[in-house]
A and B are shown apart, each in its own frame.
Chain A
Amino acid sequence: MKPFITLKDVVYEVGGQVVFDKLNLSLDKGKVYAVIGPSGVGKTTLLYLLAGFIKPSSGQITIAGDAVYDVREQTSFLFQDLGLFPWQTATEAVKMPLEISKDRRKHENESIVNQLLGSLNILSYKDQYPHQLSGGQKQRVALARTLVTQPDLLLMDEPTSALDAMTKETIQQLFLDLQSDRFMTSVFVTHDIEEAVFLGDEILLLHPNGHYQWLKNKDQSEGLSRETKAFYDQCFYVRKQLELGGAGHE
Chain B
Amino acid sequence: MSKLKRSLFHPLPMGFMMIIMIWYVLYLVIATRTIPAPLETFNYFFRHLHPLVIHMGASLMRVVVAVVLAILIGLPVGIAIGRSKRLDKVLSPLLYIIYPIPKVAFLPVFMLLFGLGNVSKVILMLFIIVFQLMLSVRDGVKDIPPHYFTVIRSFSARRKYLYRYVVLPAILPRIFSSLRISIGISLATLFFAENYATTYGIGYFILSAWMKMNYVEMFSGIIALSLLGSVLFGVIDMLEKRLTPWL
Which residues of A have CB within 8 Å of B161? 99-100
A53 to B169, CA, bound (A): 24
CB pair B155–A97 under 8 Å, yes or no, is yes
A99 to B157, CA, bound (A): 10
CA of A85 to CA of B145 in the docked complex: distance in angstroms? 10
B151 part of interface (Cβ distance < 8 Å): yes
Q: Contacts A53-B150, A79-B147 given: A85-B155 contact, CB under 8 Å?
A: no
| B residues in contact with A85, CB < 8 Å | 148, 151, 165-166, 169
Whether B154 and A100, one on each chain, are in contact in the complex, defined by CB atoms closer than 8 angstroms, is no
Q: Are B151 and A83 neighbours in the complex by a CB distance under 8 Å?
A: yes
Q: Is the beta-carbon distance between A53 and B154 smaller than 8 angstroms?
A: yes
Say if the beta carbon of A86 comes within 8 Å of chain B. yes
Complex Cα spacing A99 to B160, Å: 12
Which chain A positions have C-beta within 8 A of B246? 86-89, 129, 131
List residues of B (200-214) whose CB comes within 8 Å of A's CBs: none
- Contact call A96/B147, Cβ cutoff below 8 A: no
* B32 contacts A by Cβ under 8 Å: no
Give how many A residues have a beta carbon under 8 Å from the other chain's beta carbons.
24
Taking the complex as formed, is A226 at the interface, i.e. its CB lies under 8 A from any CB of chain B? no
Contacts A83-B148, A86-B246, A96-B165: A73 and B154 contacting too (C-beta < 8 A)? no
Q: Specify which chain B residues have a CB less than 8 angstroms from the CB of A243 in the assembled complex.
A: none
**Complex Cα gap A219–B169 (Å):** 49
One of A83, A89, A101, A129 near B147 (C-beta < 8 A): A83
Taking a contact as CB atoms closer than 8 A, the residue among A76, A81, A88 that contacts B154 in the complex is: A76
Within 8 A of A (CB), among B142-175: 147-148, 150-151, 153-158, 161, 165-166, 169-170
Complex CA gap A202/B170 in Å reads 41
A-contacting residues, B169-206, CB 8 Å: 169-170
Instruction: Kindly provide the distance from the CB of A179 to the nearest chain B CB, expressed in whole angstroms.
Output: 19
A73 contact from B156, B166, B170, Cβ within 8 A: B156
- For B148, B161, B246, which residue has the most chain A Cβ atoms within 10 angstroms? B246
Q: Which of chain A's residues 18-73 have a Cβ closer than 8 Å to chain B?
A: 51, 53, 71-73
**A242-B156 Cα distance, complex, nearest whole Å:** 36
Residues of A within 8 A of B150 (CB): 53, 79, 83
Judging by beta carbons under 8 Å apart, are B154 and A77 in contact?
Answer: yes
Q: Does B244 contact A (CB under 8 A)?
A: yes
Distance, CA A75 to CA B155, complexed state (A): 8
CB interface residues, A 87-109, toward B, < 8 Å: 87-89, 96-97, 99-101
CA gap between A79 and B246 in the complex, in Å: 22
- Give the chain B neighbours of A131 by CB distance below 8 A: 246
Q: Please tell me if the beta carbons of B165 and A71 are within 8 angstroms of each other in the complex.
A: no
Q: Are A51 and B165 in contact (CB under 8 A)?
A: no
A86–B166 Cα distance when bound, in Å, is: 10
The 4 A-B pairs at the shortest CB distance, nearest first, are namely: A83-B151, A87-B169, A77-B154, A129-B246
Residue numbers of B with Cβ under 8 A of A are 147-148, 150-151, 153-158, 161, 165-166, 169-170, 244, 246
Interface residues of A, Cβ cutoff 8 Å to B: 51, 53, 71-73, 75-77, 79, 81, 83, 85-89, 96-97, 99-101, 129, 131, 149
- List 5 other contacts, CB 8 Å, given A88-B169, A131-B246: A53-B150, A53-B154, A79-B150, A83-B150, A86-B246
For this complex, 27 residue pairs linking A to B, each with C-beta atoms less than 8 Å apart, are A53-B154, A71-B153, A71-B156, A72-B156, A77-B154, A79-B150, A79-B151, A79-B154, A83-B147, A83-B151, A85-B165, A85-B166, A87-B170, A88-B169, A88-B246, A89-B246, A96-B165, A97-B155, A99-B161, A100-B155, A100-B158, A100-B161, A100-B165, A101-B155, A101-B156, A129-B246, A131-B246
